[in-house]
């Protein structure tokens, strides 16, 4: 078997990359599609529920799929620096891929509002971390303005190469299932990822979509029809940051799921087009619902995702309850980021460690107390 060297090498003929272009890669992609075996049984739901665990990408989130494309093309175009606004994961990924490429990286993050793991990544990979006294939407505006006056290449998802890289998640789901699922659920923040999923599924079905048009200047590539159908797309937003659900921007978005704390998504129109074309919908979950399902998933299936990622499953469980998703369906949830990204959120909702003397008796006592009673 040939060694896996990342998604550009694997899907080069389905991506706008020239044959000779060197891929800046950390072997991203090829994440597992894990069937959730315990949850449907526990909740008495007759569905096939799968998690596409994107937290197992090299920097711990799906952003690496887009970043390998964006940085590869930035380097190909002669860029010496990249820039992004971020709620955390984009900055971690941009910093890592810039380090790999030997170029500079500037990240704008909302002060005090990004998870610790993500901040540590951006710092450790040597990017210039600029905390702004504002939120992600302010950062997004500043990055676009800055790119007009200083020589930096923007690697947020307004960069079409990001979306192109991220569409490969749909290819992998189809390869794993042998078909498209009935439903595909994911969190929606800046709305690039739902757009990318839909493009990937549409290309795989040989179908057109409003969101699919390649912007001018991007090279064409060969499309491959792999399946006959596309899934229904389900996009979930946190109640305190749900502009698409409400149909208007949210000025001061707030949620425990800091990754999707966004009030005015850049890919709003494309996301709405994707949802509408698929026959899907957007819905919201509260912070309590998000955290409850994050813990449920960790404790019943052994999968630790970050709060923003858990909203995909929280939304699906709610829509199953409401009867909006039918029995017998195959449902894929994208778990966008690893739980280790946000240790504070995990520790805050978990039982405190027990401290005992370093003696057998003390340890035995605890074991006896907590041993399952048969
Ligand atoms: N899940 C996680 C873990 C994220 O980090 C993000 C976005 C999303 C979901 C939403 O994806 O923006 O494509 O709709 N994070 C961006 C960032 C905004 O800066 O890291 P989206």
Q: What is the DSSP string of 33-82?
A: EEE--HHHHHTT---EEEEEEGGGSTTSBTHHHHHHHHHHHHHHTT-SEE
Name which of 189, 157, 192, 197 is nearest 332 in CA terms.
197
At 207, phi and psi to the nearest 5? -105, 155
Q: What is the pLDDT of residue 220?
A: 79
Task: Kindly indicate the confidence band of residue 212, based on its pLDDT and cuts at 50, 70 and 90.
Answer: confident
User: Which atom of ligand 1 is closest in space to residue 166's alpha carbon?
Assistant: 13
H-run or E-run covering 370 = helix 360-370
Cα(244)–Cα(192) distance, rounded to whole angstroms? Answer: 13
Helix (H, G, I), strand (E, B) or coil at 365: helix
Instruction: Flag whether pLDDT at 217 surpasses 80.
Output: no
Q: What is the pLDDT of residue 222?
A: 83
| Residues in the ligand 1 pocket, defined by CB under 6 Å | 61, 63, 86-90, 157, 187-193, 259-260, 306, 308-309, 336-337
Task: Kindly indicate the confidence band of residue 82, based on its pLDDT and cuts at 50, 70 and 90.
Answer: very high
Helix (H, G, I), strand (E, B) or coil at 335: strand
User: Which atom of ligand 1 is closest in space to residue 189's alpha carbon?
Assistant: 14
Q: What is the pLDDT of residue 221?
A: 85
Task: Kindly indicate the confidence band of residue 51, based on its pLDDT and cuts at 50, 70 and 90.
Answer: very high
The CA 181 to ligand 1 mean position distance, Å, reads 22
Task: Kindly indicate the confidence band of residue 276, based on its pLDDT and cuts at 50, 70 and 90.
Answer: very high
Tokens at 326, concatenated? 């039918």
Nearest CA to ligand 1 atom 10: 189
Once rounded to an integer, what is the mean pLDDT over residues 236-260? 98
The CA 299 to ligand 1 mean position distance, Å, reads 24
User: Which atom of ligand 1 is closest in space to residue 192's alpha carbon?
Assistant: 13
Instruction: Flag whether pLDDT at 77 surpasses 80.
Output: yes
pTM: 0.97
125 HSE (CA, 13 A, CB side): 28
Once rounded to an integer, what is the mean pLDDT over residues 127-138? 97
User: Which atom of ligand 1 is closest in space to residue 309's alpha carbon?
Assistant: 1
Q: What is the pLDDT of residue 75?
A: 98
Q: Which residues contact 325 (CB under 8 A, 6 or more apart)?
A: 47, 183, 316, 319, 331
The CA 211 to ligand 1 mean position distance, Å, reads 18
Nearest CA to ligand 1 atom 6: 259
Q: What is the pLDDT of residue 160?
A: 95
Tokens at 355, concatenated? 């401290």
User: Which atom of ligand 1 is closest in space to residue 86's alpha carbon?
Assistant: 19
| Average pLDDT score, the chain | 96
Q: What is the pLDDT of residue 223?
A: 84
Once rounded to an integer, what is the mean pLDDT over residues 70-90? 97
- pLDDT digit string, tens, across residues 334-370: 999 999 999 999 999 999 999 999 999 999 999 999 9
Task: Kindly indicate the confidence band of residue 196, based on its pLDDT and cuts at 50, 70 and 90.
Answer: very high
């Amino acid at each position: 078997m040939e060694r896996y060297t990342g998604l550009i090498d694997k899907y080069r003929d389905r991506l706008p990359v020239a044959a000779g272009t060197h891929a800046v890669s950390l072997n991203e992609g090829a994440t597992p599609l894990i069937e959730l075996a315990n949850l449907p049984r526990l909740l008495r739901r007759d569905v096939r529920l799968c998690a596409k665990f994107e937290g197992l990408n090299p920097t711990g989130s799906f952003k690496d799929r887009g970043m390998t494309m964006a940085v590869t093309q930035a380097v190909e175009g002669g860029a010496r620096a990249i820039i992004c606004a971020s709620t955390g994961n984009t900055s971690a990924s941009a910093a890592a891929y810039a380090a790999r490429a030997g170029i500079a990286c500037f990240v704008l993050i909302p002060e005090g509002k990004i998870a610790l793991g993500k901040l540590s990544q951006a710092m450790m990979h040597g990017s210039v971390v600029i905390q702004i006294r504002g939120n992600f939407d302010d950062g997004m505006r500043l990055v676009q303005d800055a790119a007009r006056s200083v020589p930096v290449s923007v690697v947020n998802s307004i960069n079409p190469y990001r979306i192109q890289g991220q569409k490969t998640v749909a290819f992998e789901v189809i390869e794993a299932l042998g078909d498209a699922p009935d439903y595909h659920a994911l969190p929606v923040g800046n709305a690039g990822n739902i757009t990318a999923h839909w493009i990937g599924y549409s290309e795989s079905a040989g179908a057109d979509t409003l969101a699919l048009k390649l912007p001018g200047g991007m090279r064409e590539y060969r499309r491959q029809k792999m399946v006959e159908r596309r899934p229904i797309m389900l996009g979930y937003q946190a109640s305190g940051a749900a502009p698409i659900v409400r149909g208007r921007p949210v000025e001061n978005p707030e949620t425990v799921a800091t990754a999707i704390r966004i009030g005015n998504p850049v890919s709003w129109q494309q996301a709405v087009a994707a949802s509408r074309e698929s026959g899907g919908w957007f819905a919201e979950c509260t912070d309590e619902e998000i955290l409850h399902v994050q813990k449920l998933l960790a404790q019943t299936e052994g999968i630790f995702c970050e709060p923003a990622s858990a909203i995909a499953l929280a939304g699906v469980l709610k829509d199953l309850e409401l009867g909006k998703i039918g029995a017998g369906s195959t449902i894929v949830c994208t778990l966008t980021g690893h739980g280790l990204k946000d240790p504070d959120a995990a520790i805050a909702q978990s039982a405190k460690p027990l401290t005992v003397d370093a003696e057998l008796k003390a340890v035995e006592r605890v074991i006896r107390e907590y041993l399952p009673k048969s």
